Amino acid sequence: MSLKVCRLSELTPGEGLRIESVSPPIAVFLTDEGTVHAIDDTCTHQDASLAAGWVEDCKVECPLHESSFCLLTGQVDQPPAKQPVRVHTVEIHGDDVVVELSKEAPNLPPGVTVP
């Protein structure tokens, strides 16, 4: 499923934007290098928004316990998280950021469910 999630002009380099119109929410990031990435917004260790994390070197660090995830693969780069986050395909059409949602099941932290 593809959906327009925001405008490129709404993104700030090095910061994330939480998109709540999908479940589970996703986070869209514009790196300092100018690339756009989308991953599931919920850290797989505990219920924390990755969009509120720190972005550097194409990784995002969770603001809660400092787990970090690769924006390209979703893999964990630093514990305590053990499970990766889903990565979603991003396309830019003019100023529109369009995300193709992953068909994989999300890896959510204990106690968090998808409605």
pLDDT tens for residues 23-55? 999 999 999 999 999 999 999 999 999 999 999
Topology classification of domain 2-100: Rieske Iron-sulfur Protein (2.102.10)
From 15, 19, 16, 35, select the one nearest 101 (Cα to Cα).
19
Within the chain, which residues score under 70 in pLDDT? none
pLDDT score at 51:
98
If DSSP codes are grouped into helix, strand and coil, which group holds residue 40?
A: strand
Residue type, 92: I
